[in-house]
Amino acid sequence: MFASLLSKSSKPLILASLVLTLSGCNNALKSPVVQASAPTGIKNVMLVHGAWADGSSWTSVIAMLTADGYNVTAVQLPLTSLADDVAVVQRALARETGKTLLVGHSYGGVVITQSGIDPKVAGLVYVSAYGPASGESALTLNSTVPNTPLIGDLLMDASGFLTISNAGVVADFAQDLSPADQVTVAATQGPISAPNALSAPVTQVAWKNGIPSWYIIASNDRAISPALEATMAKRMNATTITLASGHLSMISHPSDVSAFIEKAASSLQP
């Protein structure tokens, strides 16, 4: 009976209807594509790592910022001298299209302070970072407060480059990270020149030249004194938050760090 109903003329129509029906079911089963909305304010974010680190220290933050629509660059500093490190940031800024938010961690704060006078820089975010004034270096700032525990963990080679002992990474540099992350931090740490980078004074001070600043204080920091961080944040009139974190908050608290960076970026005019 059904065979008689399927005449030659009706078969194509029925098959076409069946294809459309199945196609509709298939589309209905597909998950909707969720696209990140375009960020407001500044969309370029440049991340500058500190001593005993490299660009991979920002891995989680990079993923979060990118997912939210930001154009992210994480530079790789040679840590051979302040001049060399600033040159890396300057070359990266030259490749940017539009205004950029500079984010520096630890010694990276010295680098963004010196290089932040670039016309493309719209703002500065310091993550447990040094914010020197003219003539100051990371080491001169350290000398204004009692030594932190990390100082006793440093090893210097014949060329004046400093590294952290493995025990020091676990106890004082990455104490709130997982054992696996501590191993990675120890293995990837970049030696830094004490005479040419940590002792080098800045000659340009971006935060004193009308560039708005933000600061994350790490209350459990054993590398840079939290009291020194608070002093630097206050004198640069930075918008400030405090995280219950060790020195590497971008690894231990990436969501908080990313949200703070986005807050800074969204408040700036592109």
Per-residue pLDDT of the chain (270 residues; tens, 9 = 90+): 333 333 444 444 333 343 333 334 333 333 333 345 668 899 999 999 999 999 999 999 999 999 999 999 999 999 999 999 999 999 999 999 999 999 999 999 999 999 999 999 999 999 999 999 999 999 999 999 999 999 999 999 999 999 999 999 999 999 999 999 999 999 999 999 999 999 999 999 999 999 999 999 999 999 999 999 999 999 999 999 999 999 999 999 999 999 999 999 999 988
Of 52, 229, 201, residue with least CA distance to 138: 201
pTM of the model: 0.86
- DSSP letters for 130-157: ----TT--HHHHHTTSPPPGGGGGEEE-
pLDDT at site 37: 63
- The architecture of the domain spanning 44-266 is 3-Layer(aba) Sandwich (3.40)
- What gap in Å lies between CA 63 and CA 66, rounded to an integer? 5
Both tokens of 240, joined, read 């400030």
Q: What are phi and psi of 102, to 5 degrees?
A: -90, 135
Q: Tell me the domain boundaries of the chain.
A: 44-266
- What gap in Å lies between CA 212 and CA 18, rounded to an integer? 62
Both tokens of 66, joined, read 């990118």
- 166 residue type, one letter: N
